[in-house]
A and B are shown apart, each in its own frame.
Chain A
Amino acid sequence: MTDVPPAGSPAPIVAGLLRERKEQVAQRWADLPLFQAVFTVTRDEAVEACHAVLESLAEVVESGRPDDIEAPGFSTIRRQLAAMSASRSHSGLSIGQIDREVGALRAAPLDLLESDPGDFGPQERLRAALLWSELLGTLRVVIIETTLQENREIVDRQRQQLMEMATPVIKLWDRLVAVPLIGMLDSARSQVVMENLLEAIVEHNATLVILDITGVPTVDSLVAQHLMKTVASARLMGADCVISGIRPAIAQTIVQLGLDLGPVTTRATLADALELALERQSEVPKGLLPRQ
């Protein structure tokens, strides 16, 4: 994995700069908004964070992969960088603004190298400056990538939550549950609905289910197919289904589309469906129903 930097490479100069003068660099970095605004409890905390970043950058340079965002040196600070950029974006900064703050880290090591060049000639310092710039560019990409990854995970989590949230199963009465469907019923959603419903049928010992589609904006053949599958699987569990909330426009459309909801009992409103359910329950003397 580790490529040895070629002879005459500026890598040892940069690595040395980041290690030997890390205290000086860290003291200057700790005052920059990127660190100062994130580590607000004590300044030592910010300096500590700077040390970690410097150490990992030195590692990356030594591994000879200053342009590689997958360089192992970065892995130790990825979580810290994610936390820092998350904290900055909570403060209302865009990715571009965060990136500019990261870019501000560039100056400190270069200033130190110029003010105290040691044994290094102008040629060597120039090459070291170029390498440091490249390294910092890679760090900026790593931070952007980490931030985007974080955002993607948030979106995925929310999508999951939305799916769970949008499909509650409500116990309305003894052995009667209702599922108010809201939004478009795509394949993934209908899978969640089906799972939640079948579990609820077992849990509440339900014999009747009301699927209310008042909140479903469009009923096309795929939605109808999903509804029919849900009805069929509920029936296998011993629960009859009533579909309610069929608006006049939807009813006309379903007929013209040629969809056959034939075997399923339907009602215009949830109230009608509830009435039907209660009528059916009263038809069977309660004492004859096996109780749990």
Chain B
Amino acid sequence: MSTDERTETTLPVRNDTDLMAVRQQVRAMAQRLGFGLVQQTKLVTAASELARNTLVHGGGGSVSLEPTSDGDGREGLTLRFVDEGPGIPDVELALRDGYSTAGGLGMGLSGSKRLVNDFSVDTAPGRGTTVSITLWSPLAPFGRR
């Protein structure tokens, strides 16, 4: 692994064009880390949903992409979506399938959670929102039920 694959990248999320750049960067980094096509597609789709949330609900913000490793040879990619918007008053409600405040399908947040391995939301009213997700390469035994 060369060093540039380990570096963290931060991308702005201010408009639809930025969303396109986020999708492309996530796909490129997932490919470099050796993720398969299904993994790539899942991660890009989750990134698309969450970055759009950052834009629509958070009024814009940023996404950071960070390759990670758990020390056991598991390669992963962590994405952090940060905004300083109004925050989410009720995370449990926001995570319910079909719940939307923006006229969408209401599957963005809950669906993204199902697409990745690790998912966490740090938010409070008036304090902005940070959503972190990690997808691990499928080589290691994890998440199988």
Partner of B111 from A217, A221, A249 at Cβ < 8 Å: A221
B48 near A249 with CB under 8 A, answer no
In chain A, positions 218-234 with a C-beta closer than 8 Å to chain B are 218-222, 224-225
Output the least CB separation between A231 and chain B (Å). Answer: 14
- Chain B 36-54 near chain A by CB (<8 Å), digits 1 or 0: 0110111011001100100
Output the least CB separation between A49 and chain B (Å). Answer: 38
Interface stretch (choices A40-48, A81-89, A254-262): A254-262
Q: How far is the CA of A25 from the CA of B18 in the complex (A)?
A: 49
Given contacts A221-B108, A257-B45, 10 further A-B contacts (CB under 8 A): A217-B44, A221-B49, A222-B52, A249-B38, A252-B38, A252-B41, A252-B42, A256-B42, A257-B112, A258-B114
Is B25 at the interface (CB under 8 A from chain A)?
no
* Residue among B20, B23, B37, B45 with max Cβ neighbours from chain A (10 Å): B45
Q: How far is the CA of A186 from the CA of B40 in the complex (A)?
A: 20
Q: How far is the CA of A219 from the CA of B111 in the complex (A)?
A: 12
Q: Considering only CB atoms, which chain A residue lies closest to B48 in the complex?
A: A220
With A184-B20, A217-B23, A218-B44 as contacts: A257 and B107 at CB distance below 8 Å = yes
- Chain B 15-26 near chain A by CB (<8 Å), digits 1 or 0: 010001001000
Partner of B40 from A224, A249, A256 at Cβ < 8 Å: A249
Is A75 at the interface (CB under 8 A from chain B)?
no
Is B115 at the interface (CB under 8 A from chain A)?
yes
B44 near A257 with CB under 8 A, answer no
Q: Considering only CB atoms, which chain A residue lies closest to B38 in the complex?
A: A249
Q: How far is the CA of A186 from the CA of B23 in the complex (A)?
A: 13
- Chain B 64-101 near chain A by CB (<8 Å), digits 1 or 0: 00000000000000000000000000000000010000
Is B104 at the interface (CB under 8 A from chain A)?
yes
Q: Considering only CB atoms, which chain B residue lies closest to A183 in the complex?
A: B20
Q: How far is the CA of A51 from the CA of B2 in the complex (A)?
A: 62
Which residues in B have some Cβ–Cβ distance to A below 8 Å? 16, 20, 23, 27, 37-38, 40-42, 44-45, 48-49, 52, 97, 104-105, 107-108, 110-112, 114-115
Q: How far is the CA of A117 from the CA of B52 in the complex (A)?
A: 66
Partner of B105 from A217, A219, A225, A253 at Cβ < 8 Å: A225
Q: How far is the CA of A252 from the CA of B39 in the complex (A)?
A: 10
With A219-B45, A220-B49, A222-B52 as contacts: A253 and B115 at CB distance below 8 Å = yes
Which residues in A have some Cβ–Cβ distance to B below 8 Å? 184, 186, 217-222, 224-225, 248-250, 252-253, 256-259
Q: How far is the CA of A224 from the CA of B42 in the complex (A)?
A: 15
Q: How far is the CA of A248 from the CA of B42 in the complex (A)?
A: 12
Partner of B104 from A218, A219, A221, A249 at Cβ < 8 Å: A221
Q: Considering only CB atoms, which chain A residue lies closest to B56 in the complex?
A: A222
Output the least CB separation between A40 and chain B (Å). Answer: 39
With A184-B20, A219-B45 as contacts: A259 and B38 at CB distance below 8 Å = no
A257 near B115 with CB under 8 A, answer yes
What are 27 inter-chain pairs, A to B, with CB distance below 8 A?
A184-B20, A218-B44, A219-B45, A220-B49, A221-B105, A221-B107, A221-B108, A221-B111, A222-B52, A222-B104, A225-B104, A249-B37, A249-B40, A249-B41, A250-B41, A253-B42, A253-B115, A256-B111, A257-B107, A257-B111, A257-B112, A257-B115, A258-B97, A258-B107, A258-B110, A259-B107, A259-B111
Q: How far is the CA of A217 from the CA of B40 in the complex (A)?
A: 11
Residues on B with C-beta less than 8 A from A249 are 37-38, 40-42
Residues on B with C-beta less than 8 A from A186 are 16
